[in-house]
Amino acid sequence: MASIEDLILLPTPRSAIAGPGAYGLSGGSKIVCRGDTAALFPIARRLRRALWENQRIDWTLRAGGSGLGGSTGGATIMLSPDGGIPAQGYRLSITGGGIDIVAGDAAGAFYGVATLVQMLRQCEGVLPAGEIEDSPDFPSRGVMLDISRSKVPTLGTLFDLVDLLSGWKINHLELYTEHTFAYENHREVWAQASPMTGEDILRLDAYCRERFVELVPNQNSFGHMHRWLTLPRYNHLAEWPNGFDLTLQGNTTRMPPFSLNPTDPRSIELMEELYSELLPHFTSERFNVGCDETWDVGRGRSARAVGERGAGRVYLDYLLAIHRLVKRHGRAMHFWGDIIIQHPELVPELPEDVVVLEWGYEAGHPFDEHGAEFARSGIPFFVCPGTSSWNSIAGRTSNCLSNVRNASGNGLRHGAVGVLITDWGDNGHTQYLPVSYPGFAAGAALSWCHEANRGDDFVQALDLHAFRDGTRVMGVLSRDLGDAHEKAGPARENSTVLFNLLTQAPDGPLPDGVTVESLGEACEVIGSIIGPLESTRMDREDAGTIRDEFANAARMMLHACKRGTAMLEGTIGSAEKRRQLASEMRTILGEHRRLWMARNRVGGLQDSERIFEERLHEYLGT
């Protein structure tokens, strides 16, 4: 039997000390709630269910005083507000006589049970004795899902994800929204998107609260408004009504109308209407208003104001107008910090009650420098790394882990009040949800206790607590497939070589460093990684879906290697090569459609499959 110090827990707790002996699990014992019984009873039921699912034993629930509980076997869950335990913290003690969980608040009791549930998952019949003392580094530990770049999950998918993340002590969830809430007076904006309805949000908010997760409203309010501004009804609000050319990393792209005109009062009027409808569905007192990547501001209708007052001042004035709206709705405003950090002289002018979201998704992002700037100003801030899953096919594991370690470590150093792990869906949201599990796990662990978790690659934890794979294959597979792209060659930021090869036009320049030999090596590595997939035994209802998702991701990666090789060898135009590639792409596209519908609503699928349809038409010459 493993000692309590050797058990695989996600997150690894702050302190675990082995004790003598063990506690044998058997039926007929009790789970006793002491303190606020109304708050503890749902938590005790969660433990009871876990005992049955993992050990096939049933314990009864009751409330009681000091004469009941651990001394007679079973488990005691006790609230002790004056016991010196930090907020959200707990103490879990196991002896030969029973199990005791003591917490200062209900959230801490929930997290103590979450740790015990993970122990039950890997101990058969006997729990090792010892004591765990645990509490979080950051009070807010969040995940943000992009539901605007094509993929709107079903409620079932969201419920399952909340169960998974809350078991890892995540307590903050956002659904990134541009146009995917069903605003009653703006049907044309979301008509093709299968949006979240008001009832959906009410149900999800209640589900989250039961699991100590705060569902925080999110509506971008400045940039990223192209889904609105391309429509005739809203085009008059655009900074640049006819669109503009955007150059990033040396590549120029024609962009649609993108940002609201910050000098037009009607922009604020639109936001007031949206906030008035959206916010009553959420119990959270926070609100993420976005306001990032306002690339076109100052280049169109606000050019004169920017020329007179400066870009930073025009941005801040609009942000302050948004802040006044948010205050009227009784919420605390969160916003992305990428624009304001470019004007550090204005940071001290931010209201004291805003929270800046300092984001960056590469391993070397300057969280240290930017965190120090916000700390000097006294403005509260989150650090916001990412899962590195988007524009990748199967992730960028090494970059993700380094990015999250960088964010959590420097966030802790400079006093950040939270960590938000972002999971974006750029360019069709072609990655599948389990590709993001390593990033979610790293974010959960490193935001809970950076020191105890900073050396982990989370492979064993993923096997046990994400994939629940008895063969211990999926943790390694997900990690290694996420790094296989490196064999093909270096990529630009927020992408991989293989994703670029899959999506670029056949006459475009290939990424630097890509050769026939590097693509051949990548093919071999991908094949060896994915080989054991069919042997996995995942104890999950969606085990078959997960296997098929990773299989199709590998197909995409292998196809990208073959496509790139054909481009390098000059055979991409041959009839035989096109027939081969078209056959592969039909399989990829068909599987992508099927797998999309397993977790998501139909809206957005047409956007996502466009990448694959373009390749198929290219190969068929249509």
Closest CA to 119 of 15, 6, 210: 6
Residue 67 has pLDDT above 60, yes or no: no
One domain for residues 583 and 600: yes
One domain for residues 326 and 260: yes
One domain for residues 369 and 431: yes
E-assigned strand segments in 471-568: none
| CA 460/CA 442 separation, integer angstroms | 12
> Is residue 3 in some structural domain?
no
CATH of the domain at 103: 3.30.379.10
Tens of pLDDT, residue by residue over 72-126, are: 589 999 999 988 999 999 999 999 999 999 999 999 999 999 999 999 999 999 9
Q: Which residues contact 383 (CB under 8 A, 6 or more apart)?
A: 358, 367, 371, 407, 408, 410, 411, 416, 418, 419, 420
What pLDDT shows up at residue 622?
83
> Is residue 466 in some structural domain?
no
What is the b/e burial string over 415-432, where b = at least 16 CB atoms within 10 angstroms of the residue's CB?
ebebbbbbbbbbbbbbbb
- Residue pair 197/167 in contact by the 8 Å Cβ criterion: no
CATH of the domain at 449: 3.20.20.80
Beta bridge partners of 214: 172
Chain centroid offset of residue 155 CA: 16
Domain count along the chain:
3
C-alpha radius of gyration, the chain, whole number? 25
pLDDT band at 70 (very low <50, low <70, confident <90, very high): very low
One domain for residues 272 and 373: yes
Tens of pLDDT, residue by residue over 351-384, are: 999 999 999 999 999 999 999 999 999 999 999 9
One domain for residues 271 and 373: yes
Range 415-421 average pLDDT: 98
Mean pLDDT across the chain, nearest whole number? 96
- Annotated catalytic, 293? yes
Q: Is 40 helix (H, G, I), strand (E, B) or coil?
A: helix
One domain for residues 435 and 503: no
Tens of pLDDT, residue by residue over 177-186, are: 999 999 999 9
The one catalytic residue among 174, 178, 214, 293: 293
Domain boundary among 457, 489, 518: 457
One domain for residues 308 and 346: yes
- Residue pair 142/419 in contact by the 8 Å Cβ criterion: yes
> Is residue 144 in some structural domain?
yes
Beta bridge partners of 100: 76, 93
What pLDDT shows up at residue 65?
67
> Is residue 4 in some structural domain?
no
Closest CA to 304 of 349, 262, 241: 262
Task: Dig out the tokens for 389 from the structure.
Answer: 């899953």
Quote the domain boundaries for residue 574.
474-620
E-assigned strand segments in 349-402: 355-359, 381-384
> Is residue 462 in some structural domain?
no
One domain for residues 244 and 328: yes
What pLDDT shows up at residue 508?
83
What pTM, to 2 d.p., does this model score? Answer: 0.97
Domain boundary among 401, 429, 457: 457
One domain for residues 271 and 236: yes
Task: Dig out the tokens for 552 from the structure.
Answer: 């199709």
Domain boundary among 457, 486, 504: 457
Beta bridge partners of 63: 33
> Is residue 501 in some structural domain?
yes
One domain for residues 187 and 291: yes
One domain for residues 67 and 157: no
> Is residue 157 in some structural domain?
yes
Tens of pLDDT, residue by residue over 313-330, are: 999 999 999 999 999 999
Closest CA to 146 of 365, 392, 390: 390
> Is residue 391 in some structural domain?
yes
One domain for residues 500 and 453: no
